[in-house]
Structure 1
Amino acid sequence: MRKYLFTIIALIVATLFVNAQQVVKKVGDTISTIKLQSTKGDVYNMADHKLKGVIIVFMTPSCDHCIAYEKRISALHEQYKKKGIPVVAIGPYGDNEKDYPYDAMPAMKKLAEEKSFTFPYLADEKFKYTWLFDIRQTPKAVVLKKLKEGFIVTYIGNIDNEPDEKRVPTIKYVEDEADKVLGKSVQ
């Protein structure tokens, strides 16, 4: 009897553990929206905007690689927002000022003001979207295409193939994907 009881308890615990694991989104998966606190003080909800798609960039104020990409990220936003695919940046540590003071909301607000970001810069809540898209370093991009209900993930990865801000990228992954979302052929 004890053996059966132990087996049943073990199965229940294992089932709860598996169900508690975060499901990671991959290319082809869908998401209903992203809704997070903005550096402007409001809550930004993608579902509230008329979009053809979204370029999400995970970035932090203290990351050297993110700093090197700031101009390119702003240029992406300017290039694609008019076409219906704006940039929305997410700070993975935005809600954790205690553990990440150089990357939390106050630092994000300061950066957004200093650099005059025209795109929303959102603070992730307990790494919800950072984990959802399996982001392990910054900057990383996710391209979403708008569907009737929600968005489909079309790309997760690097912005381009050149992390050195002094060099010109030869492959622009996010631009190529955004053009595909818009129905343009990519060479």
Structure 2
Amino acid sequence: MTIPTLLTERLRLRPVLSGDVDLMIELGCNPAVMQYVQPVMSAEDTRKVMPILMDYPHSDDLGHWVVETREDNMPVGEVSLGFLPLNRPDVVPDLKAGDVNYSDEVEIGYLYLPSAWGKGYATEAAARLLAYAFNDIFLKKIVAVTDDRNHSSQKVLTKIGMRHTGDRHAYGYDVQGFEIRADEWKSKAKST
């Protein structure tokens, strides 16, 4: 199975394509976007990771999606489901060669252009990814991590029903952890 295109009321989440390199450079090279994520990437390094964004090497069910508005097909960000990295190499990793050590936990992640901030897109797309994770590929749990200072991202995670689990280690740093189990998500979905 390859990752499907997913729809919400306002958004289309579609697999990353080679033509999305400009969006990925715009996200990865923007200090405001990357402030709480990782050091700003160069355009060259972003191009190097494009094959991984287009074809996630660890699972056919997980990967990266471009988020675009359905009204005008405008790309506004990127979301992902993938195995949570425990370390972060100093160079752009060759993920297929094993430069990164992964946990067995699946993480939800996202990056948005500043022009998309404050419009509810992150919450809407992340909620749709949880539905895909629990209803379509039958995962048992999803985790997320944020920098301690990234209150906006933490707010998105709690809005989609994730619980704050405290300090944990990921990406080579101490970060704030969040999680939701499938049974918790299904219970919350029934009550709304």
TM-score with structure 2 length normalisation? 0.27
Relative contact order (C-alpha < 8 Å, sep 6+): which is higher? 1
Question: Of the two, which has the highest radius of gyration?
Answer: 1
TM-score with structure 1 length normalisation? 0.28
